[in-house]
Each structure stands twice: as structure tokens, then as C-alpha cells.
Structure 1
């Protein structure tokens, strides 16, 4: 059953033809159908004028947040992320959002020891020679989130199933889902990385939210089931005191989370990487011996965090006050056109 409000949203945002595609795919959802849908949307969106894209983003925001988006005079965190993803993405952000290209730039800033070693990079799955890979490794694509696999024993993998999965992921148009400009023209790649014990979901993911180059709070997510996109979370201040709110994307941890061993080092790494950006989330992992870089995100969750429980409109406004939008600066570096 497809709810009427979803159909009306799709018609408002994308027109009748694309709304029809959406209904078809929601009634018969498969990864293959969704990939085809996003390919059609990507073609349509790339033909749109900036005014048409703004209209789509406003419709998406209204549907997800239940509020009208003031795109040209944003005040809340979620509103300002909409502004950034439409008007504030520059070439540095595009490079750092690419999980492949970011490695070199990040290594220069914080050192190779903090960057997971890259074993190989490929344009498509058929290029991968599994005979040359170690027993355990990690695979991911460079142009989106949640598209990764941890291989602990390559002798036990189903090559055909893995091939199908990565063919879908490589073809997936992240930009068509979210209008995040940093993904618009990013050439898709498959990355094979060194396996680090714990980076299969057992390690906590420390997402350090930085404003004007300075960390403000830490979003800790852990006990993850990567396959089902499940986990637990808490927000902490810089001294590892629990905050009374989260984005409510996961339930709260059922226990106290131990302060990470290398907290001060992680905060310093975040400062180095966040320098020069009005807002960025720096994701890091803390092992017994080393801190590892995860990714840098300029528009987390595409700026769509629906209000519930501790994540309120008041908190959204409070966080939005911390993002300083320099519209003249953005105008000079505009990436969208």
C-alpha cells in the first residue's frame, strides 16, 4: 500500500511521470528497481533549472520534516544543510566526499597511519582478481553511504551474489535520491581496503560535528548490524559527558559507553580536517593502537532529521545558530552550475 501523501509529494516534487515510477517500484520494491528509478531521476534532475531543483528540495523537506523550508533565509540546522547542499558545495567538499580521492588529501593532513590502507580501486567488479587479494578485506563504493561489505574469509564468499550487489551499488545515483551536489558528477569506484579488526561494526563510530573548524559534540554510534542498518547511539560533549539529546536515528545505548582511549587525539584530528569549513562531520574509529579516519560528511542524512522525542525544533534552531553561512563566499565557489 502506497500512502496518498507520498504520491502527492512525488507529483509535487517530480511530476506525474516520475510519481508513477515511484508507485511502481514501491509496490514491487527490489534493489534493481530502485537503481533503475534513480537512473531515471538522475537524468531528469540534471535537466532541471536551479529553480526546479529548489522546488524539489523544498517539497522533500516539507514531506520529511512536516515544515515549510525557508531556503533563502535558513535558520535551523536542517534548513541550513539544505542551503549548503544546493548552494554551498565547493570543489574541496566534492573531493573529500569521494571516499577514494579523500584518502590522499586526508593522509597529507593527518598522516598515513590514520588512513586505512587501500589494496585496490576498480571501475567495475569484473576487474577484481580475488586470487590476488588477502584472506580478509573490506569492500565499498566511493560515492555514497551504507554500501560496503566486510569479507573475513574470501574462500566463503558467493562471488555471483557479491557481483550483483556491487553492480547495483556502482550504478546507484546517490545524487538523485538527495540532491547532494557533491555526488552529482562523482565517478563511481569500488574500493578494496585492508581489514582492520573491529571495523566490521564492532567498533564505535565517533562522528565529531565541527562548526567553523571546532568540534562541538560527538555522536557515538555502535553495536551495529551493518546488514540491517541497526545500531545504538548517544551524543557526548568534548569531555565525554552524556548530552540529553540525539538525532533519534538509532535507539540509545542500554549501557554507559566508555570514554575512548584516544579522545584528545581524535578531537585534534577533527580540528585539522575541519579547518576552513563552516560545518563538517568528521567520522573516526578508535582502536587499541590507532585512530582511523572514516569519512567527512558535509550534509549528514541530507539534512533531513524528522523531529521526535529529544530532537526538537528548538534543538534544531540551537544547532543551526552554530552554522555561519557566508553567502558571498558560496556564490564565488558555486558548484551547482
Structure 2
């Protein structure tokens, strides 16, 4: 699949993501908790557990894991053997809407219905959707994968943690296992800007920070009143704010004509010669996310690009609003 970006357009810095371990206090019993390698030295020391093991003689079992794996159990930052809010893990209840599949106040889940929605995320994060999540229907049905970032408030080009997650038809964003809120294992308690984007929609970011790590904090990108970074970072449809559709090549800019435009790849995808052709599949050229790439006719994927730049002057462009 061409044109799938792992990061939004523009420059940004990704903060170091520490590796970590799952520990099991007593081998063979209940699952343990995730403990991060905070300084990246490749060593984790858990004083409380080591002391317990020395007294009881029970062995400790450790497994090296990717930091975003099984983060539902949290990060034991104070190393007391208990995961709780004192550890300050960032938890985010996020709602967002994509322009492409919008249908009234909800989004269509055509990719899921047509069995085109991949279980593996397209952003290279290594996340896999659970079968239970992929089987959901109605307003709880999965629409597509999105990327969510927590950015440093003082330096919003710096990404502290990020996650490939699934947006549902009702706008709720859930983790790959279907659970919400989103748990960010590498983001300690603090103030963060929230950014989000989709593989063929422009990214957007909050203009002000949100306190995370003291409970479950909610951010609704669908609320037109939410303060956002930049100028016109979202489109308003029927009172709902949505991410702009049509960034087919994933470069952070909507273009209808000229070099690096987003229209030509649609024609190329359907064969490049006969504009009435169509192609079914999971493709970035499928701007409206109905599972079919069309260049002309009803529900074509070319018109939303022109509408996104104003609808009348084809040489205009629209750039995503990120620092």
C-alpha cells in the first residue's frame, strides 16, 4: 500500500521510548506488571520484588517486551509492586471523527463490513486488533486505524508517546484490544497536547494542554468549540468537527492539481486510462473509506479533495495544522 505515512507531515521529534519488562512476583501465578527501563540502560531493578524473592525463595520471571505491549496493566513507576494512579500513567478518553466516512452524526464502517479492514495497524506500530473488536457492529463498529500522539506542551514538536488505535463509528477511539480509555505507558503524569491523524486525512492538534495521569481525561476532537492549533484545522459538518479528508499521498497537504497532487494517484490506482474503472480494497486513494476507489461518478474519491481546498479554485491547497 503506497502513501501510508507513519508520521504526519512536517518536522517533529519522537522522545525516546524505553524498553521494559513484565515481572511475575511468583512464577506460575497471576500475570505481573510492566516495569519500564527508564534510562534505557537495559536493566530494571525492582527493589520491593527482589527483597520479597530473597525472603521467600520464589523466583522472579522477566520477559522483555515492546513498551506499548499490554499496557492495560499500567506502569509501576514507584516500584511498590502495585499499579495505581500514584504511578501517574496517562489515560485518555478520546473522541474524533473522519470526514471521509461521515454519515450524519456517525461514521460508516464500510471497510469492516466488506472485510477489508486489516487486523494489523498500517502505521508500523506493531498493533493487532482483537477479533472481538473487529466483530463489533452498529455504532460500535470499527471504522479504521488512526494514530494518536501525546506531545510535550512546552515543545509540541516533541512526541512523548504515540499509539495506533481504532476509531469506532460513534467517534470513540479504542486500543487494539477494544478497551478504552487509551493507556500511554511512556507518558508520566503531566500536561500534554493531543494530536491525531488518519492515513489519508490531515492531522490536528489541541492548542492547549490537557492534564493526564491524575484520572481519565477526556478530549473530544468532534467538538467545534475545542481549542485547536492553527487555522481551520478541522472541517465542521452538521455541527461536528471532523479531520479533513483527501491527503492521499500522506504529505500533509491537500492538492487537487500540480506537482504531488492527491487527485492523480486515484486515477493511477484504477489503471490510469479509463476514468470509469474502480478498484476494491484497502487503499489510501479510497478517500471516503467505502472500500472502493472511484475517479468519477457517485461517491467518487476525487471530489472531496476539491471540496477540501474550497470547492472552486483547483490550484488552492490546504496544509495540516501541526507545529
Q: What TM-score bracket applies, with the shorter chain setting the length?
A: under 0.3
TM-score (norm 2): 0.27
Write 1 or 2 for the structure with the bigger share of strand: 2
Q: Which has the larger radius of gyration?
A: 2
TM-score (norm 1): 0.26
